[in-house]
Amino acid sequence: MPQQVLVTGGAGYIGSHVCKALAEQGVTPVCYDTLEKGHRWAVRWGPLERGDIGDGERLDEVFARHRPRAIIHLAGYIEVGESVREPERYLHNNSTKTAALIDAALRHAVEAFVFSSTCAVYGVPQSALLAETHRIAPLSPYAESKARVEVALGGAAARGLRAASLRYFNAAGADPGGCIGEAHAPETHLLPLAVDAALGLAPPLTLLGTDYPTEDGSCVRDFIHVGDLADAHVRALQWLRGQSADGRHEAFNLGSGSGYSVRQAIAETARIARRPVPHQVGPRRAGDSPRLVGDIAKAGRELGWRPTRDLSQQIEDTLRWRRTMPR
């Protein structure tokens, strides 16, 4: 493994768990983040370098100071609904600025580049389980911004970069140690919203659409523990370093392989919290796919990766975290 890895978005939810997983392997994560959405308290396992992924000069300074041999790129805006309202802002921050980061990666000859992509690139599923070979048909500017980066990484691979796009399904849970977890503002993700509603820390949850072509009419999602996601990044780095040096780009699904409807996830949250989850029914949110469940065979085969913590454990960790997190 390289001694230093640049982790963009390392002060965010998933990035902070990735930094912890790297540190556990003896690697120093250099967190590169604007802190626009991230938290200083979440940077605990290596130095923080404030900077924007679109700022090539700042990236050069950070490369000169820390000499990272690899990049894990998680920085970006993440809200599907907001991206529908502000498409240009999303495409600029997530795609255009990533082009500057990819240029820096090529300039500094990094050995591996791991990118946070999303299952949302698949759009409306054409099969029950989505494999990496499924067509790419984004429904939102957010998903489009990720698909564009994947295309750019394909181009960079032809110029010698070794890259992997990790298509996450729904990240959930928190570090079992309790010092980091999900803290978005505003929070738009189901499990923290359901847990907060159950604990009386937030208003009733709004269920976004109950007329989808699914068994109970709510969207079906595949929830994956953030600790399992973090582990996959470490494995992807190791895998890339074992690939030939003439460049390559591969995509991997990271999910649990099982789908739960929003209604099922709410019921499971109520069972584990031993309290009802107050909720109301609202309209669909633009840009949402009815069902997103991953075929995760490729990550198992190539990266030797398996999810280890199921939905119940994700909810338990979320409950513990939401009771104590800084607000």
Ligand X SMILES: NC(=O)c1ccc[n+]([C@@H]2O[C@H](COP(=O)([O-])OP(=O)(O)OC[C@H]3O[C@@H](n4cnc5c(N)ncnc54)[C@H](O)[C@@H]3O)[C@@H](O)[C@H]2O)c1
Judged by CB under 6 A, the chain residues 144 through 173 that form the site for ligand X are: 168, 170-171
Among the listed residues 13, 142, 168, 260, the single catalytic one is 142
Q: How far apart are CA 320 and CA 322, in angstroms?
A: 6
The single residue among 7, 62, 71, 78 that binds ligand X, judged by CB under 6 A, is 78
Q: Between 278 and 290, whose beta carbon lies closer to ligand X? A: 290
For residue 93, state whether it binds ligand X (rule: CB under 6 A): yes
Q: Is 72 left (phi over 0), alpha (psi -120 to 50) or beta?
A: beta
What DSSP assignment string belongs to 148-197?
HHHHHHHHHHHTT-EEEEEEE-EEE---TTSS-----SS---HHHHHHHH
How many residues bind ligand X, per CB under 6 A? 28
Q: Between 15 and 125, whose beta carbon lies closer to ligand X? A: 15
What DSSP assignment string belongs to 281-315?
EEPPPTT--SEE-B--HHIIIII-------HHHHH
Contact 226, 180 (CB under 8 A): no
What sign does the CA torsion over 289, 294, 295, 298 have? positive
Q: Which stretch binds ligand X (CB under 6 A): 35-43, 152-160, 199-207, 309-317?
A: 35-43
| Per-residue tokens: 270 | 């109520």
For residue 52, state whether it binds ligand X (rule: CB under 6 A): yes
Instruction: Give the SS3 label for residue 117.
Output: strand
For residue 289, state whether it binds ligand X (rule: CB under 6 A): no
Q: Is there a catalytic annotation at residue 142?
A: yes
Q: Which stretch binds ligand X (CB under 6 A): 36-44, 102-110, 192-200, 288-296?
A: 36-44
Q: Is 145 exposed, middle or buried (0-12, 13-18, 19+ CB in 10 A)?
A: buried
Peptide bond before residue 186 is cis, with ω within 30 degrees of 0: yes
For residue 75, state whether it binds ligand X (rule: CB under 6 A): yes
For residue 249, state whether it binds ligand X (rule: CB under 6 A): no
Q: How far apart are CA 130 and CA 253, in angstroms?
A: 8
The residue of the chain with the least Cβ separation from ligand X equals 12
For residue 15, state whether it binds ligand X (rule: CB under 6 A): yes
Judged by CB under 6 A, the chain residues 184 through 203 that form the site for ligand X are: 184
Q: Other C-beta atoms within 10 Å of 308: how many?
A: 11
Q: Between 129 and 278, whose beta carbon lies closer to ligand X? A: 129
For residue 116, state whether it binds ligand X (rule: CB under 6 A): yes
Q: Between 52 and 317, whose beta carbon lies closer to ligand X? A: 52
Residues with active-site annotation: 142
The contact set with ligand X (CB under 6 A) reads 8-9, 11-15, 33-38, 52-54, 74-76, 78, 93, 97, 116, 118, 168, 170-171, 184
